[in-house]
Amino acid sequence: MTLATAASTLVCCIGNDLVADDGVACRVFERLQALELPGSPRVEQVGVGGLDLLELLTGAEGSLVVVDAVQFGAPPGTVHCLDWQDLPAARGMAVSAHAIGLRETVEVGKVVCPDKLPSRIVLVGIEGRRFDELGGAMTPETAAAVDTAARRVRDLLFTFEQEAEVDE
Amino acid sequence: MTRTIRIDPVTRIEGHAKVFLELDEDGEIASAGLVVNELRGFERILVGMAAEQMPLVTARICGVCPTAHHLAATDALEHAAGVTPPPAAKLLRELMYMGHLIHSHTLSLFVLQGPDLIMGLDADPAVRNIVGVVQANPDAAKKALRCRSLGQKINELVGGRGTHPVTSVAGGITFELDDSRHKMLSGWADETLALLSELVPLAKGLLLQQIELHPALMADWIVPAWSLGTVKDGRISMLDGPLRAVDEAGNTRLEFPAEAYDGHLEESVIEWSYMKQVHIKDGDRHHEYRVGPMARINVGGTYGTPLADAELATLRELGGQPCHAVVLQTYSRLIELLYAAERAQEILRDPALGGPTRVPVQFTGGRGVGHVEAPRGTLIHDYEIDDQGLVRSANLIVATQQNYASINRVIAQAAASHVLGKADDAALLNAVEFGIRCFDPCLSCATHALGEMPMEIAITRDTQVVRRITRAD
């Protein structure tokens, strides 16, 4: 193993499993436990994203994969895979402190803790539809995408490993 | 004819925080409101669960205020079982809670008020956001984020786990504090107070500057209402003591233990929203009221710690007592930050912290009501528990519900001064967003990766939507 491959990957699944489709990343987290993942990443689950993500970084991570429910306007169950730079910027100001977008979080991190930011940050986003029902069930299409999303994470990790080997 | 639109269940999940303004025949604001999400589904899923699960399950309602739910649930269970936790357990809970308060208030101030204060209320929304704040003042941003981390560290060390605390149980706390952890906690509390001694004057200066630049903040943004908060022995209290309600003029009108809440607080369904609103019932009259830091200050005496009380005196000079200036809620949050850090230090110096932390508990059936002053205001948990120790019914009253009538009134006031006779959409959005932000409401926290839901304002007339306004337009 070289230093390049030793740089670890953090997979962070964000969601509230009590709130319908917001729980989809929690299901992906469970699926990931059952899969054999390349490069032995650290897999974590958190309730809300935003600035808390920065707290999870140790500075040793080469890559960060964020798994979360999204609303990009695609059909429910669509799995998106995007670099953080390609995420749409928040348009207006927040009216609630509950969440800051991944893009904004990374931009904040670049100023306050540049040394801790991994060089690669990717979002695996699962399109959901039902987000306002505490105790509500997941949309069937979203629930059906859990396996796909978990496999996308595994494939991403595999790519990271291969790239690291090429760099050797 | 005046009618308010119903929100179609199919369209409510488009990823917008929805505000509606209903105009009457003369084009005046007839009603206005923020459409928010429901909590009732959650109360249903608690039914049939074991009572001792409540502190763990309810902490997962919200990733932002888990500790408030964790402790309200514990308090409710102890009332149901008729036990009193040992003094050391009470102190550890309070310490955990001070960490939570530091974490939560720092986030509110930094994310919600920071952009208005540092960039200025008139700044372009493209830069008047958290990224703009951090780039404009990296040093203060680093300190604010460190402060927030320290609050979270205190909360986690005492709460036993990351996001969702686990150590508070009916009967006490599951561990006793050892010397090494005590030392770590003391270091964190000291560091927090040192950071705040720089950050609070900075934030206060910026706030006063905005007030000077915008006289309307102290002239027009005044929303008189009753206030509800917890007091104990004449002091503002977070976890212990009866609830007190004062009227618009500051006269104490009611004081009652939390378990009597349903005799004084009345929930009602609104046609256009999924959130029930709550009024204080006084005889046959119903009064709109507020909860949260400013309401606590309006009902209570003092915090009882020197730095917080010194700032409290300044706030009262500035805004009066009771204070109804929406913008000064920011100041009240700064005061509570100081209080939380000072109180954490006090607790850590208290010899009683070292005593036993747990008494045995048995559920033989009955009702338990618990409450805490959550960062955003009074939070009540009410459970009916059967003789098997299972929850038979549950009712939760959260802060945003109680502030809801005031939030909607602020929206109507903001809209009345910006909509009528004008067509400046940006000014309207600014005014409405600013008003809502001052309350720091709990909205849906879904779709984290995309950040906060953008806001949409729908202006309706005679049930027809005549205009929709969003930032994207």
| Judgement on whether residues B145 and B23 belong to the same structural domain of the protein | no
- Contact: B446, A69; criterion CB under 8 Å: yes
Give the per-residue pLDDT at B314.
Answer: 96
pLDDT of residue B11: 25
Which chain B residue's Cα is nearest to A51? B145
Interface of A with B in 91-110 (CB under 8 A): 91-104, 107-108
**Residue B144 falls inside a structural domain:** yes
Do B97 and B177 sit in the same domain of this protein?
A: yes
User: Nearest CA of chain A to the CA of B238: how many Å?
Assistant: 21
Based on the domain organization, do B30 and B121 belong to the same domain? no
B346 within domain boundaries: yes
Domain boundaries, chain A: 8-22+44-74+96-130
Q: What is the CATH number of the domain that holds B99?
A: 1.10.645.10
Assess whether B210 and B117 both reside in one domain. yes
Kindly state the average pLDDT of the residues B313-339: 95
Confidence of residue B12 (pLDDT cuts 50, 70, 90): very low
Q: Is A98's CB within 8 Å of B39's CB? A: no
| In-domain check, residue B133 | yes
- pLDDT, position B179: 96
With cut-offs at 50, 70 and 90, classify the pLDDT of residue B450.
Answer: very low
- Does any domain span residue B12? no
pTM exceeding the 0.80 threshold for the entire prediction: yes
- Alpha carbon distances (Å) from A54 to A15, A112, B18, B146, B293: 16, 10, 30, 11, 28
Residues 82-111 of B with CB under 8 A from A: 107-108, 111
The more confident residue out of A104 and B180 is: B180
pLDDT average, residue stretch B157-170: 90
Predicted confidence at residue B445, as pLDDT, reads 36
Q: Answer for the pair B18, B458: CB distance below 8 angstroms, yes or no.
A: yes
In this structure, the answer to whether residues B24 and B152 fall within a common structural domain is: no
Of A72, A94, A135, the CB nearest to B44: A135
> Are both B354 and B406 inside the same structural domain?
no
Residues of chain A contacting residue B326, judged by C-beta atoms under 8 Å apart: none
pLDDT of res. A137: 81
Q: Is residue B340 one of the residues assigned to a domain?
A: yes
CA B404, distance to chain mean position in Å, is 12
Q: How many domains does chain B have?
A: 2
Residues B26 and B127 in one domain: no
pLDDT band, residue B266 (cuts 50/70/90) = very high
Question: How far, in Å, CA of A147 to CA of A155, rounded?
Answer: 12
pLDDT at B172: 98
Do B345 and B466 share a domain, yes or no? no
A 48-77 → B contacts, CB under 8 A? 48-52, 54-55, 66, 68-72
The reported pLDDT for the residue numbered B387 is 93
Residues B406 and B349 in one domain: no
Q: Give the domain range for residue B196.
A: 84-222+336-360
Is some CB atom of chain A closer than 8 A to the CB atom of B152?
yes
Confidence of residue B452 (pLDDT cuts 50, 70, 90): very low
Contact yes or no for B12 and A132 at CB 8 A:
yes
Closest to A69 in 3D by CA, of A94, A90, A39, A99? A99
Does the distance separating the beta carbons of A94 and B12 come in below 8 Å?
no
Examine the pLDDT at B383 and tell me if it is beyond 90.
yes
Q: Residue B414 domain-assigned?
A: yes
More confident residue, B158 or B365: B158
Q: Is the pLDDT assigned to residue B92 strictly greater than 60?
A: yes
pLDDT, tens digit, for every residue of B416-447? Answer: 776 555 556 777 777 777 787 778 776 543 33
* Pairs of residues, one from chain A and one from chain B, whose beta carbons lie less than 8 Å apart: 201
B48 touches chain A (CB under 8 A): no
Residue B436 covered by a domain:
yes
Mean pLDDT, residues B290-296: 96
Say how far apart CA B315 and CA B226 lie, in whole Å.
18
Is residue B108 domain-shared with residue B209, that is, in the same domain? Answer: yes
Bond from prior residue into B454 cis (ω within 30 degrees of 0): no
For the segment B377-400, the average pLDDT, to the nearest whole number, is 93
Asked if B90 and B182 sit in the same domain, the reply is yes
What confidence tens digit (pLDDT) does each residue in B117-144 have?
A: 887 877 777 777 788 889 989 999 999 9
Q: Looking at the structure, do residues B97 and B205 belong to the same domain, yes or no?
A: yes
Taking only the tens place, the pLDDT of each residue in B191-232 is: 999 999 999 999 999 999 989 988 888 888 888 999 999 999
Residue B202 touches chain A, beta carbons under 8 Å: no
Query: Is B276 domain-assigned?
Result: no
Q: Which residue of A has its CA nearest to B45?
A: A135
Judged by average pLDDT, the poorest of B130-134, B153-157, B447-451 is B447-451
